[in-house]
Structure 1
């Protein structure tokens, strides 16, 4: 007979963890599963980001009294139906992957597509910057192969900016997938082990080289569009420091 730790991890258990309903004896197994399956870990981070943004977006509705015009003259049981219908609608909306609206809860200016983009970048940062054994797919010792491979997948030339002047060295990078297709993540680390990530994906939007700022808790990001790519620099740094690094990245990419 298999123990709880040996049972395969299911999609339902991932959602149960998000909902705080995963049994204690399964948590270690799910953590190990996510460590060994980075593509699932990335998807799980997206679920978590979507859940957080949805909660923020609709929080004002939760405690608001039901308007009199929506209260049918029926029993108490029937009076709950409008809210049940709303809950079902929101569930279907989230399941449909409406990333543009889900990003509405972010502290980020710009169009919904930009807010969705930076949400993806920050979600990927949260997953892989904390990874100990497999933070990157291809290491910095294969930098030429890394940027050539990622550039080919993005359909645009790619380079890894030098950030040694800011105390950061390239760790490596990986290919990711977001709602619009392939994306690339480059990771850098300083002498203390602090990490920042540079996220890029193709974009059909016009270039906008002005920096925009977004944050979610202690994770902050500067993002912009240039040369057919959308870029986001993300890290757990103060805004001024991260802004300076973003300027260095921009200059390096356009030198």
Structure 2
């Protein structure tokens, strides 16, 4: 059973899916009230996802404990900078050896993960949690567009989804290695949830072409403009979400 506040070991176990259902629910409740800690956990989850994507071919080899993302994060002492991420991949390249290691490094540096994977992860972690701490909500005097403009100059306007019944209800700032990111949560009268996510393009990446992809039960529709990448994320098969996507 985990303790509160959670230890670093508890957080790593949560990221690696090793907690029981009860402990996982306890920890998610704690994260919902601690924005700084939840951002750290989200960054670890994205680190693990990028490492797995970069080494997808090597994951078919026999299990090597030294290549486990939790082990690597412990070696890096929780660092989230680009230099430390590169050092982690170089360490793996030495362990694996040969050309495949350098290919994995190049894939990681060029962001070869699925488009806007962090937008999908942010939706799963925060968008459907009504108790999450927010940096903007409807009780504040300024509207959500004003709030976004303060943090993202020259960005595209926030999508207007009112024709599909969805209105912005809260917003949350986060961070990436390239700069600030944000998620705006929309809800309709029946409590269905969508999210709009904005972030700077990953280093060495070109702007995203307009497209969409399915990730489990969710669908992400993404595009670029004004120097930023965007995604609207929501349930893939929900009729209301489909109507909202048509309104984009």
Displacement of 1:163: 1.2
Unaligned runs of 5+ in 1: 66-79, 106-110, 250-255
Which position in structure 2 is the counterpart of 1:214?
A: 213
Preserved contact between residue 183 and residue 195 of structure 2 (Cα < 8 Å): yes
Which position in structure 1 is the counterpart of 2:224?
A: 225
Which position in structure 2 is the counterpart of 1:41?
A: 38
Which position in structure 2 is the counterpart of 1:245?
A: 244
Q: Aligned pair 1:14/2:11, yes or no?
A: yes
Find the aligned partners of 2:207 and 2:121 in 1 and give their Cα distance.
Answer: 24
Query: Per the alignment, do residues 8 and 172 of structure 1 end up closer, same or farther by CA in structure 2, a change over 3 Å counting?
Result: closer
Preserved contact between residue 175 and residue 184 of structure 1 (Cα < 8 Å): yes
Find the aligned partners of 1:236 and 1:36 in 2 and give their Cα distance.
Answer: 25
TM-score, with length taken from structure 2: 0.68
The one-character-per-residue Cα deviations of 1:191-249 (angstroms, maximum 9, x if unpaired) are 221111111123486655x4222232112101111122211111112399757634533
Find the aligned partners of 1:214 and 1:196 in 2 and give their Cα distance.
Answer: 15
Query: Per the alignment, do residues 125 and 58 of structure 1 end up closer, same or farther by CA in structure 2, a change over 3 Å counting?
Result: same
- Between the two proteins, the alignment pairs up a number of residues equal to 222
Preserved contact between residue 54 and residue 112 of structure 2 (Cα < 8 Å): no
Displacement of 1:12: 2.2
Preserved contact between residue 137 and residue 172 of structure 1 (Cα < 8 Å): yes
Which position in structure 1 is the counterpart of 2:94?
A: none
Alignment of 1:1-255 (within 5 A): 5=3, 7-22=4-19, 29-52=26-49, 54-55=51-52, 58=55, 61-64=58-61, 87=67, 92=72, 96-97=84-85, 112-113=110-111, 115=113, 118-134=116-132, 136-142=134-140, 144-156=142-154, 159-203=157-201, 210-238=209-237, 245-246=244-245, 248-249=247-248
TM-score, with length taken from structure 1: 0.66
Find the aligned partners of 2:207 and 2:46 in 1 and give their Cα distance.
Answer: 26
Query: Per the alignment, do residues 159 and 26 of structure 1 end up closer, same or farther by CA in structure 2, a change over 3 Å counting?
Result: same
Unaligned runs of 5+ in 2: 77-83, 90-103
Find the aligned partners of 1:135 and 1:37 in 2 and give their Cα distance.
Answer: 7
Find the aligned partners of 1:84 and 1:33 in 2 and give their Cα distance.
Answer: 29
